[in-house]
A = this chain, B = another copy of it.
Protein backbone atom coordinates (compact mmCIF):
# COMPACT_ATOMS: atom_id res chain seq x y z
CA UNK A 1 0.00 0.00 0.00
CA UNK A 2 1.14 3.50 -0.82
CA UNK A 3 -0.21 6.91 0.10
CA UNK A 4 -2.25 9.37 -1.95
CA UNK A 5 -2.45 13.14 -2.14
CA UNK A 6 -5.24 15.44 -3.28
CA UNK A 7 -5.28 19.11 -4.23
CA UNK A 8 -7.78 21.75 -5.33
CA UNK A 9 -6.94 24.39 -7.91
CA UNK A 10 -8.52 27.29 -9.77
CA UNK A 11 -11.61 29.25 -8.82
CA UNK A 12 -13.55 27.68 -5.94
CA UNK A 13 -17.10 26.34 -6.37
CA UNK A 14 -19.86 25.23 -4.04
CA UNK A 15 -19.25 21.57 -4.97
CA UNK A 16 -15.47 21.17 -5.01
CA UNK A 17 -15.42 20.06 -1.37
CA UNK A 18 -18.02 17.38 -2.10
CA UNK A 19 -15.54 15.93 -4.60
CA UNK A 20 -12.83 16.12 -1.95
CA UNK A 21 -15.16 14.22 0.36
CA UNK A 22 -15.67 11.58 -2.33
CA UNK A 23 -11.90 11.12 -2.67
CA UNK A 24 -11.55 10.81 1.12
CA UNK A 25 -14.36 8.25 1.38
CA UNK A 26 -12.95 6.10 -1.44
CA UNK A 27 -9.35 6.28 -0.19
CA UNK A 28 -10.57 5.15 3.22
CA UNK A 29 -12.06 2.02 1.64
CA UNK A 30 -9.21 1.39 -0.80
CA UNK A 31 -7.09 -1.73 -0.45
CA UNK A 32 -4.25 -0.03 -2.32
CA UNK A 33 -4.19 3.39 -0.65
CA UNK A 34 -3.07 3.88 2.93
CA UNK A 35 -2.96 7.52 4.02
CA UNK A 36 -4.49 10.42 2.13
CA UNK A 37 -2.68 13.75 2.28
CA UNK A 38 -3.98 17.12 1.16
CA UNK A 39 -1.83 19.75 -0.51
CA UNK A 40 -2.55 23.23 0.76
CA UNK A 41 -3.17 25.71 -2.06
CA UNK A 42 -2.68 23.09 -4.74
CA UNK A 43 0.78 22.66 -6.26
CA UNK A 44 1.78 26.09 -4.95
CA UNK A 45 1.63 24.81 -1.36
CA UNK A 46 2.93 21.38 -2.33
CA UNK A 47 6.12 22.95 -3.67
CA UNK A 48 6.54 24.55 -0.24
CA UNK A 49 5.95 21.19 1.46
CA UNK A 50 2.65 22.36 2.93
CA UNK A 51 0.83 19.11 3.38
CA UNK A 52 -1.92 18.05 5.75
CA UNK A 53 -2.83 14.46 6.66
CA UNK A 54 -6.51 13.98 5.82
CA UNK A 55 -6.73 10.42 7.13
CA UNK A 56 -8.19 11.77 10.39
CA UNK A 57 -11.37 12.38 8.40
CA UNK A 58 -11.66 8.71 7.30
CA UNK A 59 -15.07 7.54 8.46
CA UNK A 60 -15.91 10.82 10.22
CA UNK A 61 -19.34 10.91 8.60
CA UNK A 62 -20.43 14.10 10.31
CA UNK A 63 -17.33 16.05 9.30
CA UNK A 64 -17.53 14.78 5.72
CA UNK A 65 -21.19 15.67 5.47
CA UNK A 66 -20.39 19.22 6.65
CA UNK A 67 -17.47 19.35 4.22
CA UNK A 68 -19.81 18.41 1.36
CA UNK A 69 -21.96 21.48 2.14
CA UNK A 70 -19.03 23.88 2.53
CA UNK A 71 -18.38 26.28 -0.34
CA UNK A 72 -14.94 27.20 -1.61
CA UNK A 73 -11.80 25.05 -1.56
CA UNK A 74 -11.30 23.64 1.92
CA UNK A 75 -7.65 22.87 1.12
CA UNK A 76 -7.05 26.30 -0.35
CA UNK A 77 -6.43 26.91 -4.02
CA UNK A 78 -3.86 28.36 -6.41
CA UNK A 79 -3.61 29.51 -9.99
CA UNK A 80 -0.11 28.14 -10.55
CA UNK A 81 0.78 26.18 -13.67
CA UNK A 82 3.70 23.83 -14.11
CA UNK A 83 6.30 24.99 -16.65
CA UNK A 84 6.65 23.26 -20.00
CA UNK A 85 8.65 20.05 -19.91
CA UNK A 86 11.18 21.30 -22.46
CA UNK A 87 12.04 24.22 -20.17
CA UNK A 88 13.26 24.45 -16.58
CA UNK A 89 12.12 21.25 -14.87
CA UNK A 90 13.38 22.07 -11.38
CA UNK A 91 9.78 22.51 -10.17
CA UNK A 92 9.05 18.89 -11.17
CA UNK A 93 12.13 17.60 -9.36
CA UNK A 94 11.20 19.50 -6.23
CA UNK A 95 7.65 18.26 -6.38
CA UNK A 96 8.63 14.63 -6.87
CA UNK A 97 11.11 14.79 -4.00
CA UNK A 98 8.30 15.86 -1.68
CA UNK A 99 5.93 13.17 -3.00
CA UNK A 100 8.65 10.55 -2.54
CA UNK A 101 9.24 11.68 1.03
CA UNK A 102 5.57 10.96 1.80
CA UNK A 103 5.60 7.73 -0.25
CA UNK A 104 2.86 9.00 -2.51
CA UNK A 105 1.78 6.80 -5.40
CA UNK A 106 -1.52 8.49 -6.29
CA UNK A 107 -2.04 12.14 -7.13
CA UNK A 108 -5.55 13.67 -7.44
CA UNK A 109 -6.03 17.17 -8.78
CA UNK A 110 -9.49 18.79 -8.75
CA UNK A 111 -9.82 21.74 -11.09
CA UNK A 112 -10.78 23.27 -14.41
CA UNK A 113 -9.01 23.30 -17.76
CA UNK A 114 -5.95 25.10 -16.39
CA UNK A 115 -5.61 22.39 -13.75
CA UNK A 116 -5.91 19.65 -16.37
CA UNK A 117 -2.80 21.16 -17.92
CA UNK A 118 -1.02 20.38 -14.65
CA UNK A 119 -2.37 16.82 -14.68
CA UNK A 120 -1.23 16.34 -18.27
CA UNK A 121 2.28 17.73 -17.72
CA UNK A 122 2.92 15.95 -14.44
CA UNK A 123 1.76 12.68 -15.98
CA UNK A 124 4.08 13.16 -18.96
CA UNK A 125 6.97 13.93 -16.64
CA UNK A 126 6.55 10.82 -14.47
CA UNK A 127 6.05 8.63 -17.57
CA UNK A 128 9.23 10.00 -19.16
CA UNK A 129 11.19 9.28 -15.99
CA UNK A 130 9.57 5.95 -15.24
CA UNK A 131 8.37 7.21 -11.88
CA UNK A 132 5.53 5.26 -10.30
CA UNK A 133 2.89 7.95 -9.73
CA UNK A 134 -0.68 7.77 -10.99
CA UNK A 135 -1.93 11.30 -11.73
CA UNK A 136 -5.72 11.70 -12.06
CA UNK A 137 -7.64 14.89 -12.82
CA UNK A 138 -11.14 15.55 -11.51
CA UNK A 139 -13.19 18.26 -13.18
CA UNK A 140 -14.86 21.15 -11.36
CA UNK A 141 -15.96 24.53 -12.58
CA UNK A 142 -19.18 26.48 -12.30
CA UNK A 143 -18.52 27.60 -15.89
CA UNK A 144 -19.35 24.12 -17.30
CA UNK A 145 -16.86 24.82 -20.08
CA UNK A 146 -14.81 21.61 -20.05
CA UNK A 147 -14.96 19.55 -23.22
CA UNK A 148 -16.04 15.88 -23.45
CA UNK A 149 -17.65 15.56 -19.99
CA UNK A 150 -21.46 16.01 -20.17
CA UNK A 151 -21.21 18.75 -17.56
CA UNK A 152 -18.95 19.75 -14.70
CA UNK A 153 -19.43 19.38 -10.94
CA UNK A 154 -20.32 22.78 -9.49
CA UNK A 155 -22.34 23.91 -12.50
CA UNK A 156 -25.60 22.44 -11.19
CA UNK A 157 -25.44 24.25 -7.86
CA UNK A 158 -24.44 27.54 -9.48
CA UNK A 159 -27.34 27.11 -11.91
CA UNK A 160 -29.78 26.38 -9.09
CA UNK A 161 -28.70 29.58 -7.34
CA UNK A 162 -28.97 31.56 -10.58
CA UNK A 163 -32.38 30.25 -11.66
CA UNK A 164 -33.77 30.71 -8.14
CA UNK A 165 -32.37 34.22 -7.81
CA UNK A 166 -33.59 35.26 -11.27
CA UNK A 167 -37.06 33.96 -10.30
CA UNK A 168 -36.98 35.98 -7.08
CA UNK A 169 -35.69 39.10 -8.85
CA UNK A 170 -38.49 38.80 -11.44
CA UNK A 171 -40.99 38.54 -8.56
CA UNK A 172 -39.47 41.65 -7.02
CA UNK A 173 -39.49 43.63 -10.26
CA UNK A 174 -43.07 42.77 -11.19
CA UNK A 175 -44.74 44.83 -8.45
CA UNK A 176 -44.92 48.29 -10.01
CA UNK A 177 -47.02 49.62 -12.84
CA UNK A 178 -44.31 51.74 -14.46
CA UNK A 179 -42.04 50.39 -17.19
CA UNK A 180 -38.82 49.12 -15.68
CA UNK A 181 -35.95 47.07 -17.06
CA UNK A 182 -33.69 45.03 -14.80
CA UNK A 183 -30.45 43.75 -16.30
CA UNK A 184 -28.74 40.90 -14.47
CA UNK A 185 -25.12 40.10 -15.25
CA UNK A 186 -23.93 36.51 -14.89
CA UNK A 187 -20.44 34.99 -14.87
CA UNK A 188 -19.01 33.40 -18.01
CA UNK A 189 -16.21 35.04 -19.93
CA UNK A 190 -16.39 32.85 -23.06
CA UNK A 191 -19.14 30.32 -22.41
CA UNK A 192 -22.75 31.24 -21.66
CA UNK A 193 -23.68 28.16 -19.63
CA UNK A 194 -24.39 30.05 -16.40
CA UNK A 195 -26.39 32.72 -18.20
CA UNK A 196 -28.39 30.00 -19.96
CA UNK A 197 -29.56 28.77 -16.53
CA UNK A 198 -31.38 32.07 -16.06
CA UNK A 199 -33.86 30.93 -18.75
CA UNK A 200 -35.27 28.17 -16.53
CA UNK A 201 -37.72 30.10 -14.28
CA UNK A 202 -39.63 31.74 -17.14
CA UNK A 203 -39.83 28.41 -18.96
CA UNK A 204 -41.14 26.47 -15.97
CA UNK A 205 -42.93 29.13 -13.90
CA UNK A 206 -43.81 31.88 -16.36
CA UNK A 207 -41.82 34.53 -14.49
CA UNK A 208 -38.09 35.05 -14.97
CA UNK A 209 -35.62 36.41 -17.50
CA UNK A 210 -37.47 37.61 -20.59
CA UNK A 211 -34.30 37.99 -22.64
CA UNK A 212 -31.07 36.00 -22.38
CA UNK A 213 -27.81 37.02 -24.09
CA UNK A 214 -24.86 34.64 -24.30
CA UNK A 215 -21.28 35.38 -25.40
CA UNK A 216 -21.57 32.73 -28.13
CA UNK A 217 -23.54 35.09 -30.39
CA UNK A 218 -22.51 38.62 -31.38
CA UNK A 219 -24.34 41.38 -29.54
CA UNK A 220 -26.03 44.15 -31.50
CA UNK A 221 -27.14 47.21 -29.54
CA UNK A 222 -29.98 48.12 -31.92
CA UNK A 223 -31.40 44.59 -31.92
CA UNK A 224 -31.15 44.52 -28.12
CA UNK A 225 -33.12 47.77 -27.79
CA UNK A 226 -35.75 46.37 -30.18
CA UNK A 227 -36.03 43.18 -28.10
CA UNK A 228 -36.48 45.18 -24.90
CA UNK A 229 -39.13 47.41 -26.46
CA UNK A 230 -41.01 44.34 -27.70
CA UNK A 231 -40.85 42.77 -24.24
CA UNK A 232 -42.12 45.97 -22.60
CA UNK A 233 -45.26 45.69 -24.71
CA UNK A 234 -46.15 42.44 -22.92
CA UNK A 235 -45.64 43.62 -19.31
CA UNK A 236 -44.13 46.69 -17.65
CA UNK A 237 -41.24 44.82 -15.98
CA UNK A 238 -38.60 43.24 -18.16
CA UNK A 239 -35.77 41.12 -16.83
CA UNK A 240 -32.69 40.70 -19.01
CA UNK A 241 -29.93 38.18 -18.28
CA UNK A 242 -26.54 38.86 -19.85
CA UNK A 243 -23.24 37.10 -19.67
CA UNK A 244 -20.31 39.25 -18.52
CA UNK A 245 -18.55 38.15 -21.71
CA UNK A 246 -20.97 39.26 -24.44
CA UNK A 247 -19.13 40.84 -27.35
CA UNK A 248 -19.95 43.05 -30.31
CA UNK A 249 -19.54 41.68 -33.83
CA UNK A 250 -16.01 43.11 -33.92
CA UNK A 251 -15.05 40.95 -30.93
CA UNK A 252 -14.91 43.82 -28.45
CA UNK A 253 -16.43 43.14 -25.04
CA UNK A 254 -19.63 45.10 -24.34
CA UNK A 255 -18.35 45.63 -20.81
CA UNK A 256 -15.00 46.92 -22.02
CA UNK A 257 -15.96 50.54 -21.51
CA UNK A 258 -16.21 50.19 -17.77
CA UNK A 259 -13.94 47.26 -16.98
CA UNK A 260 -11.28 47.74 -14.37
CA UNK A 261 -8.38 46.84 -16.63
CA UNK A 262 -7.00 44.39 -14.07
CA UNK A 263 -5.92 40.92 -15.18
CA UNK A 264 -5.60 37.63 -13.34
CA UNK A 265 -2.46 35.50 -13.04
CA UNK A 266 -3.06 34.03 -16.49
CA UNK A 267 -3.48 37.38 -18.15
CA UNK A 268 -7.27 37.01 -18.54
CA UNK A 269 -8.93 40.41 -18.26
CA UNK A 270 -11.39 40.85 -15.41
CA UNK A 271 -14.68 41.89 -16.91
CA UNK A 272 -17.11 43.97 -14.94
CA UNK A 273 -19.72 46.36 -16.00
CA UNK A 274 -21.49 44.71 -18.94
CA UNK A 275 -24.88 45.19 -17.27
CA UNK A 276 -23.90 48.74 -16.28
CA UNK A 277 -23.15 49.52 -19.93
CA UNK A 278 -26.52 48.15 -21.03
CA UNK A 279 -28.24 50.03 -18.22
CA UNK A 280 -26.88 53.28 -19.63
CA UNK A 281 -27.91 52.22 -23.13
CA UNK A 282 -31.52 51.50 -22.12
CA UNK A 283 -31.69 54.79 -20.22
CA UNK A 284 -30.51 56.65 -23.29
CA UNK A 285 -32.51 54.81 -25.95
CA UNK A 286 -35.73 53.93 -24.10
CA UNK A 287 -35.67 56.31 -21.17
CA UNK A 288 -37.61 54.10 -18.74
CA UNK A 289 -36.58 53.11 -15.24
CA UNK A 290 -33.62 50.73 -15.50
CA UNK A 291 -31.18 49.12 -13.12
CA UNK A 292 -28.41 46.57 -13.24
CA UNK A 293 -27.55 43.73 -10.89
CA UNK A 294 -24.33 41.73 -10.97
CA UNK A 295 -24.73 38.38 -9.22
CA UNK A 296 -20.97 38.14 -8.83
CA UNK A 297 -19.22 35.81 -6.32
CA UNK A 298 -22.40 34.34 -4.78
CA UNK A 299 -22.80 32.38 -8.04
CA UNK A 300 -19.90 30.17 -7.06
CA UNK A 301 -20.19 30.10 -3.27
CA UNK A 302 -23.91 30.12 -2.35
CA UNK A 303 -23.72 26.74 -0.68
CA UNK A 304 -26.93 27.41 1.26
CA UNK A 305 -28.80 26.47 -1.93
CA UNK A 306 -26.97 23.46 -3.34
CA UNK A 307 -28.30 21.17 -6.02
CA UNK A 308 -28.55 17.75 -4.41
CA UNK A 309 -27.95 16.19 -7.84
CA UNK A 310 -24.76 18.21 -8.25
CA UNK A 311 -23.41 17.38 -4.80
CA UNK A 312 -24.12 13.67 -5.15
CA UNK A 313 -22.42 13.62 -8.55
CA UNK A 314 -19.50 15.62 -7.17
CA UNK A 315 -19.00 13.01 -4.46
CA UNK A 316 -19.33 10.15 -6.96
CA UNK A 317 -16.83 11.65 -9.36
CA UNK A 318 -14.29 11.89 -6.52
CA UNK A 319 -14.86 8.24 -5.69
CA UNK A 320 -14.53 7.24 -9.33
CA UNK A 321 -11.21 9.07 -9.57
CA UNK A 322 -9.85 6.83 -6.80
CA UNK A 323 -11.00 3.77 -8.75
CA UNK A 324 -9.15 5.02 -11.84
CA UNK A 325 -6.03 5.56 -9.74
CA UNK A 326 -6.26 2.05 -8.32
CA UNK A 327 -6.45 0.78 -11.90
CA UNK A 328 -3.31 2.74 -12.73
CA UNK A 329 -5.03 4.99 -15.28
CA UNK A 330 -2.62 7.91 -15.08
CA UNK A 331 -3.06 11.15 -17.02
CA UNK A 332 -6.82 10.77 -17.14
CA UNK A 333 -9.63 13.13 -16.20
CA UNK A 334 -12.90 11.64 -14.98
CA UNK A 335 -15.87 12.45 -17.21
CA UNK A 336 -19.63 12.29 -16.82
CA UNK A 337 -21.68 10.55 -19.49
CA UNK A 338 -25.41 11.16 -19.68
CA UNK A 339 -27.55 8.16 -20.50
CA UNK A 340 -30.35 8.37 -23.07
CA UNK A 341 -33.89 8.67 -21.72
CA UNK A 342 -34.43 9.40 -18.04
CA UNK A 343 -31.63 11.46 -16.52
CA UNK A 344 -28.77 9.29 -15.30
CA UNK A 345 -25.02 9.85 -15.15
CA UNK A 346 -22.31 7.26 -15.63
CA UNK A 347 -18.63 7.92 -15.11
CA UNK A 348 -15.82 7.38 -17.56
CA UNK A 349 -12.48 9.00 -18.34
CA UNK A 350 -10.48 10.72 -21.03
CA UNK A 351 -6.85 11.78 -21.44
CA UNK A 352 -6.39 15.05 -19.56
CA UNK A 353 -4.48 16.32 -22.60
CA UNK A 354 -7.75 16.27 -24.54
CA UNK A 355 -9.35 18.62 -21.99
CA UNK A 356 -6.49 20.90 -21.00
CA UNK A 357 -6.75 24.49 -22.22
CA UNK A 358 -9.89 23.83 -24.28
CA UNK A 359 -13.26 25.51 -23.86
CA UNK A 360 -16.72 24.04 -24.50
CA UNK A 361 -19.13 26.71 -25.69
CA UNK A 362 -22.92 26.59 -25.68
CA UNK A 363 -23.72 24.95 -29.05
CA UNK A 364 -25.68 26.80 -31.74
CA UNK A 365 -28.79 24.61 -31.46
CA UNK A 366 -29.08 25.60 -27.77
CA UNK A 367 -29.58 29.27 -28.77
CA UNK A 368 -32.71 30.64 -30.47
CA UNK A 369 -32.71 32.30 -33.86
CA UNK A 370 -33.04 35.83 -32.54
CA UNK A 371 -30.02 35.25 -30.30
CA UNK A 372 -31.98 36.49 -27.30
CA UNK A 373 -32.84 33.24 -25.51
CA UNK A 374 -32.04 29.55 -25.31
CA UNK A 375 -33.93 26.69 -26.92
CA UNK A 376 -36.00 24.02 -25.23
CA UNK A 377 -33.20 21.55 -25.89
CA UNK A 378 -30.92 23.73 -23.78
CA UNK A 379 -33.52 23.90 -20.99
CA UNK A 380 -33.84 20.11 -21.08
CA UNK A 381 -30.08 19.80 -20.78
CA UNK A 382 -29.81 22.07 -17.71
CA UNK A 383 -33.05 21.22 -15.88
CA UNK A 384 -32.01 17.87 -14.31
CA UNK A 385 -28.78 19.39 -12.99
CA UNK A 386 -30.51 21.74 -10.54
CA UNK A 387 -32.89 19.14 -9.11
CA UNK A 388 -33.04 18.31 -5.43
CA UNK A 389 -32.23 20.29 -2.32
CA UNK A 390 -29.39 19.52 0.03
CA UNK A 391 -30.22 19.50 3.72
CA UNK A 392 -28.09 22.20 5.34
CA UNK A 393 -27.24 22.42 9.06
CA UNK A 394 -27.48 25.85 10.66
CA UNK A 395 -25.87 27.33 13.76
CA UNK A 396 -26.53 30.87 14.97
CA UNK A 397 -28.86 31.29 12.01
CA UNK A 398 -26.09 30.63 9.48
CA UNK A 399 -25.03 27.47 7.59
CA UNK A 400 -22.36 25.36 9.26
CA UNK A 401 -19.14 25.04 7.25
CA UNK A 402 -16.25 22.68 7.80
CA UNK A 403 -12.67 23.88 8.09
CA UNK A 404 -9.76 21.51 7.62
CA UNK A 405 -6.93 21.39 10.15
Contact = CB atoms under 8 A, between A and B. Distances in A.
Interface in A11-52: 12, 41, 44-45
A167 B401 contact: yes
Contacts of A167: 398-399, 401
B386 A176 contact: no
B298 A204 contact: no
Contact of A398 (B73, B164, B262): B164
Contact of A176 (B77, B160, B200, B392): B77
Interface residues of A, number: 68
Contacts of A403: 207
Contacts of A304: 164, 168, 305
A70 interface: yes
Q: Taking the full assembly, how many copies of this chain does it contain?
A: 2
Interface stretch (A82-90, A289-297, A363-371): A289-297
A297 B73 CA distance: 27
A163 B293 contact: no
A395 B71 contact: no
Interface of A: 8, 12, 41, 44-45, 70-73, 76-79, 160, 163-165, 167-169, 171-177, 182, 200-201, 204-205, 207, 260, 262, 270, 279-280, 283, 289, 291, 293-298, 300-305, 307, 383, 386-389, 392, 394-399, 401, 403
Can you list the 8 inter-chain pairs with the closest CB atoms, starting with the nearest? A386-B397, A172-B301, A72-B171, A77-B175, A204-B396, A168-B301, A293-B296, A72-B172
